Structure 1
Amino acid sequence: MVNWRGSFCVPTRIHYGLGSLEVLAQIGIKNALIVSDPFLVKSGMIKNVTEQLDKANISYTIFSDVVPDPTVAVVVSGVAAAQKILPETIIAFGGGSAIDTAKGILYFYACINEEKNEESKPRLIVIPTTSGTGSEVTDFAVITDEKAKAKIPLRDKKLMPNHAILDANLVRSLPPTVTADTGIDVLTHAIEAYVSTLASDFTDALAEKAIRIVFDYLPKSYQNGNDDEARVRMHDASTLAGMAFTHTSLGINHSMAHALGGRFHIPHGRANGILLPYVIDYNSKEEKAAVRYAEISRLLGLNYMSDIYAAKELRNMVIKLKENLEMPSCFKETGIPEADFLASIEALAATAMRDSCTQTNPRVPTQEDLEKLFKKAYYGN
């Protein structure tokens, strides 16, 4: 199931470790558009970035209209802000929504100005404030089409960040629920990358390390946000998983989560976490996929002879981890009205089938398969 031919490139320069944000003043920025969200501005966290820019006398403008599940309208507004200052650098500061918004702005700003090559488009620097998306090293972004009530995955080399700054000082204050949601997102990225039809020895190494770190350090981050080692390791795991899935793409776990997020606005990581055990069960019915899940199970020390049984034990480990993180086990527990969910299943499945992530799932699904999976994940059976 591992790809024996392909290419592997990690163009993003990664700066990591506590205090690594200081490198921002040394990168040679001239004029920046900072893309962030209102909370990070009002709380003063944005000063972590602006103080570094002020130190180096760098000109900047803050665009803080970011919303959860960033919309086409917000991206258009951000492009207009960029057009006013013609930034040489765009800085994404925040979680997945801020990063996706910044990527959307960069993409359309470059297109409008016909800046099609790496030399002329603004540089992108990503400073994540959650340990989950991996977007700091991917050429992916997800934008919400409010009219269609669907998330639109974008993928283009223009979206690959030039620099990623992984300063775990910025995630100390994350609430436990956000730590859990984003941490499970890391695990889903890594597992889906490992079982993807585009997996390789290179992506396997990254995914395996990320999976190990999540099981070892996510519960510690959840229990004590001031555990520096746990915070640093989870920040690293997020990037490792991102490096893996930007080469492999993902699978139906993400296709389904994208569809749910676009319609019901469930936090992305939470949606992925709810779906993960059901997707493992579904994919394990394909023999090669079961072998890959079994390899992960054995990597974590569960030495079962049967691949099918080992795959089931991986599912059970995921369920146990989620219980320790006090996460919902099904969508009914998130408060989505039953009638609304059931009425949407056909549309959700159709949207997930069209999602690009579905193409690299280890088992080829039908729309009926996805409808059944959505129903199982709602009731928890």
Structure 2
Amino acid sequence: MGQFLMNTRIHTGESSLEEIARLGIRKAYIICDPFMEKCGRAQELAAMLQKMGTEIQIFSEVVPDPSIEVVAKAIQGMKELGPDGIIALGGGSAIDTAKAAGHLYGSMNGGARPLLAAVPTTSGTGSEVTSFAVISDTKAQVKYALRDQALVPDAAFLDPRLTLSVPPAVTADTGMDVLTHGLEAYVSVKADDFTDACAEKSIRLVWEYLERAVLDGSDMEAREHMHNASCLAGIAFSNASLGICHSMAHALGACFHIPHGRSNALLLPHVIAYNAGLEESGENEALLRYQTIAEMLGIGGGTPKAAVHGLIRHIRNLMKRIRIPAYVTELSVESETFVAAIPEMTEKALKDNCTATNPRVPAREELEYLYKKLCKGGSV
């Protein structure tokens, strides 16, 4: 028996953020990174709520790859305010911090989590609608992928105006994260008709609008469609989960501090080839699923493997056009240092929750082989 859960009320389009005042929050705890406060976005949001008589406290200590320590600080601030609403403003790091802190705060107060609203300012993680949160242990250099339905926000506000100032490199990285979410959800062992619909649409939108958004950040049409694509992919993988591209990216990012979307992009062509069995004889279900995506995108091929080779080639070409490198050695990572870290990263990836829903069950040596391809000379 399957199930498809969609617990978040989604507000879309320009000016959708103005609807946040209708939530009826009396005490709002806004969680964001320092830039959101410095540029005035947090204050603008606070002003909207204050017009309705809402008491506001801003927590602006969110960091990339949110840590256990930051989550603990956020909880302490909640204890002081006693909020009935938590608002996450920012990218995946802010939203994941709010999810984890809100859930733990609720558990400390009889299990009643305050209302959680997410206001994404990047188009990438889809965290505004998912049951996932990724929290880092900086001492152990491990990223923990948490999953619980209690983490799903109650409301999301997809206002594309908030993404207009996102730099091209970040737009590219987060956009590749969306593409990876869609593709991994589509070939997941838990995929179904409902998740497929969301995954397919998100992939189409990324294919059409990501490059436009990177080349012209003021392209509002591209920004809006990428914001929607991110959310749709989030709905897909929140129900179908992900695969080893994310498992390996979590370990890679934690070890070398490479942005999550870029980590996924580096690994994606290699993971597709592995899952599809392109270096082996015969066909498998993942191969045929990737073929369906290739054909949907207008990428032909006389055979399933030819179509998937074409899909990989087009993904690599897209990465070149939006200036995402193909190798870790292009990111100031020394080959020797990277190779030395492969056993530890592999161990972490095998234990990652996302590995369980990958279409192929990987052996340790297979993940090590995929990691080695990130050094120049080991391409697909």
Q: How far off is 1:377 after superposition?
A: 1.6
Q: Give 1:214's aligned amino acid.
A: V
Question: Secondary structure of 1:10's partner?
Answer: coil
Q: Give 1:123's aligned amino acid.
A: L
Among 350, 355, 375, which residue is 1:353 paired with?
350
- Please identify runs of 4+ aligned residues in structure 1 that moved more than 3 A: none
Q: How far off is 1:163 after superposition?
A: 0.1
Partner residue, 1:72:
68
Q: How far off is 1:367 after superposition?
A: 1.0
Partner residue, 1:167:
159
Q: Give 1:175's aligned amino acid.
A: P
> CA–CA distance in 2 between the matches of 1:38 and 1:122?
23
Question: Secondary structure of 2:234's partner?
Answer: helix
> CA–CA distance in 1 between the matches of 2:5 and 2:104?
24
Partner residue, 1:299:
296
Mapping for residues 362-373 of structure 1, pairs under 5 Å = 362-373=359-370
1:147-176 Cα shifts (integer Å, max 9, x gaps): 210100111111000000000000001100
Give the alignment's TM-score, normalised by structure 2. Answer: 0.97
| CA RMSD after TM alignment | 1.0
Which ranges of structure 2 fall in alignment gaps of 5 or more residues?
A: 278-282
> CA–CA distance in 2 between the matches of 1:220 and 1:48?
28
> CA–CA distance in 2 between the matches of 1:50 and 1:32?
8
Among 7, 22, 35, which residue is 2:18 paired with?
22
Q: How far off is 1:264 after superposition?
A: 1.1
Q: Give 2:191's aligned amino acid.
A: A
Indicate whether 1:266 and 2:258 are aligned: yes
Partner residue, 2:280:
none
Partner residue, 1:153:
145
> CA–CA distance in 2 between the matches of 1:266 and 1:73?
20
Indicate whether 1:309 and 2:301 are aligned: no
> CA–CA distance in 2 between the matches of 1:65 and 1:363?
39
Among 86, 89, 92, which residue is 2:88 paired with?
92
Among 214, 218, 221, which residue is 1:222 paired with?
214
Mapping for residues 99-114 of structure 1, pairs under 5 Å = 99-114=95-110
Provide the aligned length of Structure 1 versus Structure 2: 373
1:186-239 Cα shifts (integer Å, max 9, x gaps): 000000000000000111010000000001000110111111100000000000
Indicate whether 1:234 and 2:234 are aligned: no
Q: Give 1:324's aligned amino acid.
A: R
Among 23, 41, 60, which residue is 1:45 paired with?
41
State which drifts further: 283-292 or 91-100. 283-292
Among 126, 134, 137, which residue is 1:142 paired with?
134
Partner residue, 1:375:
372
Indicate whether 1:193 and 2:185 are aligned: yes
Indicate whether 1:129 and 2:121 are aligned: yes
Give the alignment's TM-score, normalised by structure 1. Answer: 0.96
Which ranges of structure 1 fall in alignment gaps of 5 or more residues?
A: none
Q: How far off is 1:44 after superposition?
A: 1.2
> CA–CA distance in 2 between the matches of 1:275 and 1:137?
25
1:65-93 Cα shifts (integer Å, max 9, x gaps): 10111100110111111111111011000
State which drifts further: 136-145 or 334-343. 334-343
> CA–CA distance in 2 between the matches of 1:72 and 1:273?
26
> CA–CA distance in 2 between the matches of 1:323 and 1:338?
21
Q: How far off is 1:48 after superposition?
A: 3.0
> CA–CA distance in 2 between the matches of 1:11 and 1:137?
8
Q: Give 1:267's aligned amino acid.
A: P
> CA–CA distance in 1 between the matches of 2:305 and 2:82?
55
> CA–CA distance in 2 between the matches of 1:37 and 1:190?
27
> CA–CA distance in 1 between the matches of 2:137 and 2:364?
22
1:14-67 Cα shifts (integer Å, max 9, x gaps): 000001010011111111110000011111122331121122121110011101
Question: Secondary structure of 2:86's partner?
Answer: strand
Partner residue, 1:11:
7
Q: Give 1:189's aligned amino acid.
A: H
Q: Give 2:265's aligned amino acid.
A: G
Partner residue, 1:327:
324
Q: How far off is 1:113 after superposition?
A: 1.9
1:264-319 Cα shifts (integer Å, max 9, x gaps): 11100000011100111111116111001000000001232311111111111110
Q: Check conservation: 2:50, 2:56, Cα contact below 8 A.
A: no
Q: Give 1:275's aligned amino acid.
A: L
- Give the fraction of aligned pairs with identical amino acids, expressed as a percent: 49
